[in-house]
Structure 1
């Protein structure tokens, strides 16, 4: 992914509470997705059904959110505490919260992104990273927190995690990522079966459908374009 992001922090506690309330529904949403897909996919090598919504959409509202606004230069950025409404530069994340900061409005700790760190639900997800673990009681404030890593070939990522360019999802575990649901992510190769709704990487195309693939959700055979 080459898109650059920035993010504006929420304006108070209400946004944090809203994120937590939506988390409670996330696991049931993923479960409904599994039931709907497995109910339509019986047998093997059958005619392919209509491709459903990409799997990451099922919990996107619970994930750190990104903005499509013009990027902010990080040239003068310094790690430290910032108040709600502060623009977060591209490539930076929010990793901690202080509920008493900014005269009671709450402050957030901003720092450069790095491989293997926990980020708050209010943080942007810098391009090229994936989310591999989740806890609802982190960020020094008992709010949703996600473990962010650089992608590797053959790892489980949380439902809603970005799919980096050149990677695909080939398996699913509905109770992974602390109940959110997780997807097995690999480097795209000819001969893989990719899960429903996964974007087809450049240089590839899909062919036969097999209902037994992607942990029973069904999958499309990947071939060179």
Structure 2
């Protein structure tokens, strides 16, 4: 489990009541459920949390699981009784908050340092042939990086994302997809990052 900016990413499903509802502090969250409210005085003063089934477009408390296939697109620092709240959406092309998961098959193509109530935001979109992706974005299986722009993505650097084909020159940091190998090397390729030519294995 990885804790990022108050979000629990990849939380393991527990054995709490399948009905959800109000639960005491520390109770596990069932698979497919999120936490949407806190009662400081619940459970005889120990604190209570409201667990509900996830849906597209719901505010969740800091510490709530992020359900697989969802992303976080908004932040309210004072939400959820002062703990902070996060807006939970089904993955789609659009802006996501720093710390939100990158869903399988998606890449990051833009960056706003002050987005998402000041914590930063990233543009999350389905991978396609011929797009620039930000430094740190995943390279989707079957794709390679073929060029580099050190000033791209609002100054953090960007890589050009292409479907792999024999004969392409790929950057030295690019993954080599299954069924391919690299041959010739050019140290000045990929805007000085170095490049190798892709060939069938």
Which residue of structure 2 aligns with residue 158 of structure 1?
Answer: 134
Residue 102 (structure 1) aligns with: 80
2:5 aligned residue:
10
CA distance in 1, matches of 2:12, 2:164: 31
- TM-score for the superposition, normalised by structure 2: 0.75
Q: Output the CA distance in 2 between the equivalents of 1:87 and 1:200.
A: 33
Bigger proportion of residues as strand: 2
Of residues 56, 63, 84, the one that matches 2:62 is: 84
Q: TM-score, normalised by structure 1?
A: 0.68
2:183 match = 207
Tell me the distance in 2 between the aligned counterparts of 1:150 and 1:220: 26
2:134 touches 2:156 (CA, 8 Å); kept in 1? yes
- Corresponding residue for residue 99 of structure 2: 122
Provide the C-alpha distance between the structure 2 equivalents of 1:8 and 1:150, rounded to a whole number of angstroms: 25
Structure 1: tracts of 5 or more residues without a match:
1-5, 13-64
Q: Secondary structure at the match of 1:178?
A: helix
1:1-225 matched pairs, under 5 angstroms: 10-11=5-6, 67=10, 73-74=31-32, 76-78=53-55, 79-114=57-92, 116-139=93-116, 141-225=117-201
Task: Give distance in 1, aligned partners of 2:195 and 2:170.
Answer: 5
Q: 1:224 to 1:181 in 2, by over 3 A?
A: same
* Greater C-alpha Rg: 2
How many equivalent residue pairs?
A: 165
Distance in 1 of aligned mates of 2:86 and 2:173: 35
Contact 2:12 2:31 in 1 (8 A): no
Equivalent pair of 1:9/1:85 in contact (CA under 8 Å):
no
Q: Which has the higher contact order (CA 8 A, sep 6+)?
A: 1
Structure 2 residue runs of 5 or longer lacking an equivalent are: 14-29, 34-52
Contact 2:9–2:65 (Cα < 8 Å) also in 1: no
Which residue of the partner structure matches residue 50 of structure 1? none
| CA distance in 2 between partners of 1:156 and 1:11 (Å) | 29
Q: Relative to 1, partners in 2 of residues 1:80 and 1:9: Cα closer, same or farther, differing over 3 Å? A: farther
> For the residues of structure 2 that align with 1:66 and 1:196, how far apart are their CA atoms?
30
Preserved contact between residue 10 and residue 85 of structure 1 (Cα < 8 Å): no
Note the aligned Cα RMSD (angstroms). Answer: 2.2
Inter-CA distance 66–107: structure 2 relative to 1 (3 Å threshold): closer
